[in-house]
């Protein structure tokens, strides 16, 4: 039953992704591509080159290109720096692995701190004072009251 639910969920997520690949919208592509001059995503840029790239994206969508084909054409002219998200290959893997590594290190650090705090409560209670010493301490304290 769980397996079926997981499969249905995966299908539900895969269908929009496939539709986005086959029939991309201009707005989603503009948010996934970077203006090479101002280095912000196209949807937030009105630089002349960004406007030209937006026009190109619309032309290619109308021509029936897929999302990957449009991105590949832009990368061919402007280089991989136009991709807002680096591709998962070669040296670019580092952009994906570094944040994950950082999260792992942070999780280990938080776990270690939490473990130490939890152990503090388990420390044995201090040994009771010697009755004679305790009596003398009480006497001394009474003198100051």
Query: What minimum distance in Å lies between the beta carbon of 54 and other proteins?
Result: 12
Nearer to other proteins, 18 or 97 (CB): 97
Region of 33 on the Ramachandran plot (φ > 0 left; ψ -120 to 50 alpha; else beta):
beta
97 binds other proteins (CB under 8 A): no
Nearer to other proteins, 9 or 96 (CB): 96
Residue ranges in 61-90 that form contacts with other proteins under rule CB under 8 A: 77-79, 81
> What does the alpha-carbon distance between residue 26 and residue 32 come to, in Å, rounded to a whole number?
10
Q: Which residues pair with 34 in a beta bridge?
A: 41
Count interface residues toward other proteins (CB under 8 A).
12
> What does the alpha-carbon distance between residue 112 and residue 116 come to, in Å, rounded to a whole number?
6
Q: Which of 26, 49, 61, 83 binds other proteins (CB under 8 A)?
A: 49
Q: Could you give the angle at the alpha carbon of 111 between the alpha carbons of 105 and 114, nearest 5°?
A: 145
**Which residues would be at the binding site for other proteins (CB under 8 A)?**
36-37, 48-49, 51-52, 56, 77-79, 81, 109
């Amino acid at each position: 039953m769980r397996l079926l639910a997981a499969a249905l969920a995966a299908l539900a997520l895969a269908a929009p992704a496939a539709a986005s690949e086959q029939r991309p919208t201009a707005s989603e592509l503009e948010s996934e591509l970077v203006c090479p001059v101002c280095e912000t995503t196209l949807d937030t840029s009105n630089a002349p080159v960004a406007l030209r790239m937006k026009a190109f994206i619309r032309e290619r969508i109308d021509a029936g290109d897929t999302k990957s084909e449009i991105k590949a054409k832009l990368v061919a002219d402007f280089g991989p720096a136009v991709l807002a998200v680096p591709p998962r290959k070669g040296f670019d893997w580092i952009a994906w692995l570094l944040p994950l590594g950082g999260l792992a290190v942070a999780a280990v650090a938080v776990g270690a701190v939490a473990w130490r705090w939890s152990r503090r409560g388990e420390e044995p209670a201090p040994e009771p004072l010697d009755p004679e010493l305790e009596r003398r301490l009480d006497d001394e304290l009474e003198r100051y009251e």
